[in-house]
Structure 1
Amino acid sequence: MAKGLEEGFTIIAPKDDHPVVYIVSDSIGETAELVAKAAVSQFNGGNVEIRRVPYVNDPQDIVDIVDEAQGQNCIIAFTLVLPELREVLVREADKHNIPTVDIMGPFLDALTLITAAPPKLEPGLVRKLDEEYFRKVEAIEFAVKYDDGKDPRGIQRADLVILGVSRTSKTPLSMYLAHKRIKAANVPLVPEVAPPQEIFSLSSHKVIGLTIKPQQLNVIRTERLKTLGLTSNADYASHERILKELDYAESIMKRVGCPVIDVTNKAVEETASKVLEIYYRGERYR
C-alpha cells in the first residue's frame, strides 16, 4: 500500500463495488478533495468513497497507488505540479484502464500561455503563502501588543527586541519588521525607569540598540511637542535632558552587549535593512 494511503481520507457510505475516487497530491490534497466532493454532491453522494493520498513525490508511490486501485470501480484525480509525476500517473493508470482527472495541469498550461512565464512547479505553494500571511499577521499583532514596553513578558517571546530613547523610531521599525514576519518588541530607555531584567538574559544578536545625534533628536522632539500643543521649551526636548537620556541608553546597551545602530537621518527602511542583516547573521551562526 502506498505511503499515506491510510491517513486523511474521507469515507462516504461505502458498499460492495462502490465507486472510489482516489485523490493523489504532492501536497496535502485539499484542493482536489474539495473538487471531488463538489462533483460527488451532484450525485447525492452516490455512495462514493474518497481516498486522499497526500505528499506523493516518488514515481514508485504512484505505481503502488495504481496497483492498489486496479480492479476497483474507481477514478484517480490528482494535483501534481511536476510534469514527470503526472506523466507516470497517467501512463500507469492507462495500463489498467483507470480514468484520470488532472485538476492542476490544464490550468498551469493555460496560465503559461497568458503570463508568458513558466510555473515554479513547487508543491504546496498555496499552503506556504497562507502560512506566510498568517505569520505576518501574527507578527503585526505581536508588535502592537508589546509596543513601548507595555508588557515585559513579550521580551522572551520576541524574535528581536529594540532598545532606544523616545523618538528613535522604535515603533515604526517594529511594525516594518513585522511585515517581514519578525516578532519585534521594543523597550524605551528612560533614566528614571529601570529596564526590564529580561533584556540582559537574551542573546546579543536578538537585541538591537538605536541611537541618534542629539541635534536631530532635539528637532524631532520639539516638533512632537508642537503637535501635542505643548511649549517647545519643555524638559523633554531640552539639550541637557536629551544628552542625559542618550548617555543612559548607551550604558544599558553596553551592559546588554548588543549592536547599536545610529538612526540619524535614516529612513525606517534603511534601519530595518541593517537590523535584518544583523539578525539573520546571528541566526546563521548561533
Structure 2
Amino acid sequence: MSETNLASESYFHLHLVSDSTGETLISVGRAAAAQYSSARPIEHIYPLVRNQKQLDRVLVDIEAQPGIVLYTLTDRELRDRLKTYCTRNSIPVLSVLAPVVRLFQAYLGGEPTPRVGGQHQLDGEYFRRIDAMNFTVTHDDGQHTEGLEGADVVLLGISRSSKTPTSIYLANRGIKTANIPLVPNVPVPPGLYELKHPLVVGLVASAQRVVEIRRNRLLGLNALQGDESYIDEDAVAQEVAHSRQLCARAGWPVIDVTRRSIEETAAAIIGLLQEHRRRISEEFSS
C-alpha cells in the first residue's frame, strides 16, 4: 500500500459481541465495512459472551476504544445492559438479527424460541457437512480417483488455481468435492469423461496471476531454484489454454477465478450445481 493511500485511509473500531461463535456478526460486519473503501475496521470479536462477568470485560474494551457495536445476544438481561450502556455513551449499537427475526415473526406468527447458537446444532445437516469434508480431504489433489462418481462436484485446474480452498469451502456447505490437478503432459484420469453424477468444473486464471501466486509460494518455501517453466508466464499461459481446451472438448463449464474470491467462485459453482441437478432430475423423470 502506498504512503498516499495510508494517509487517506481512516480506521474505526468494530465490536462484535456474540453468545455463540460470532460467525454471523463477522460476516455481516465485514460485508458492511467493505462498502467503505476509505475506512477500515479494527475488529474486536467477543464470542461466547453468556454471563455478566464476560460482558463486563466487553464493556471495558468498548469504553477504552469506542466504535460501532454489533451483537447477537439471546439473554434479555445481557442485551438490555449492552444497549443501555451504548445508548448512555452515544455509541452506535445494533442487534443484527432483530430486524430479521421481526420479519419472520410477522410472517410466521407466534413468538420465536430463543436458542443460543441455534444454527450450530448437531443435526443431520451438520453430519452431512462432516461427511462432505471427509470426502473432500480424501479426494484432494487427484487422490482416490476411483471414487469420483461419489462426488457432487469435481474441480479441474492447473497448479495454484484455487482448487483446494474452493473444495474445502464447498465441503463446508455440505457439497462433496474432489479436485484434480492438470499437469503438462500428464493425462487426466480416464474415468473422468464417463462420470454421470458429479458436476465437473474447470478453474482457470490469468497466467500473470498464476505466476504471481506460484512465485510467492516458492519464496515461502525458499525453493525458487528448480523448474523455471513453473513460473514462466508463457509456459503458464500454455497450461491455461490447454485446460480451457480440455474443458471445451468435454463440454465442462469453466470459471475464471482471476478476480474472484473463494466465496464468489463457490457461489458460481453452487449455481451451476443446482442447474446440473435440475437437468439430471428432468432427464430421469422424462
TM-score for both structures, normalised by structure 1: 0.54
The equivalent of 2:176 in structure 1 is 183
The equivalent of 1:158 in structure 2 is 151
The equivalent of 1:147 in structure 2 is 140
Match of residue 167, structure 2, among 171, 174, 187: 174
Give the CA RMSD over aligned residues.
2.6
Match of residue 192, structure 2, among 196, 199, 202: 199
Cα distance in structure 2, aligned partners of 1:158 and 1:225: 31
Are the equivalent residues in 1 in contact too, given 2:152–2:197 (CA < 8 A)? Answer: no
The equivalent of 2:10 in structure 1 is none
Partner of 1:166, secondary structure, is: coil
Cα distance in structure 2, aligned partners of 1:275 and 1:139: 16
Q: 5 Å matches for 1:174-253?
A: 174-203=167-196, 206-231=199-224, 234-253=228-247
In structure 2, what residue type is equivalent to 1:244?
Q
Cα distance in structure 1, aligned partners of 2:254 and 2:167: 15
Q: 5 Å matches for 1:123-142?
A: 130-142=123-135
Cα distance in structure 2, aligned partners of 1:149 and 1:185: 8
The equivalent of 1:259 in structure 2 is 253
Are the equivalent residues in 2 in contact too, given 1:204–1:256 (CA < 8 A)? Answer: no
Partner of 1:153, secondary structure, is: helix
In structure 1, what residue type is equivalent to 2:140?
D
In structure 1, what residue type is equivalent to 2:158?
V
In structure 1, what residue type is equivalent to 2:123?
D
Moved over 6 A (4+): none
Q: 5 Å matches for 1:21-170?
A: 117-119=111-113, 130-170=123-163
Cα distance in structure 2, aligned partners of 1:150 and 1:202: 16
Partner of 2:135, secondary structure, is: helix
The Cα of 1:202 is off from its aligned counterpart by 2.4
Residues 168, 263 of structure 1: CA spacing in aligned structure 2 closer, same or farther, 3 A cutoff? same
Aligned-pair identity (%):
38
Are the equivalent residues in 2 in contact too, given 1:205–1:259 (CA < 8 A)? Answer: no
In structure 1, what residue type is equivalent to 2:154?
V
Look at both structures and tell me which one has the larger radius of gyration over its CA atoms: 1
Cα distance in structure 2, aligned partners of 1:204 and 1:181: 16
Partner of 1:180, secondary structure, is: coil
In structure 1, what residue type is equivalent to 2:239?
E
The Cα of 1:134 is off from its aligned counterpart by 1.0
In structure 2, what residue type is equivalent to 1:134?
F
Gaps of 5+ in 1: 1-111
The Cα of 1:244 is off from its aligned counterpart by 2.1
Gaps of 5+ in 2: 1-104, 281-286
The Cα of 1:117 is off from its aligned counterpart by 3.9
The Cα of 1:232 is off from its aligned counterpart by 6.9
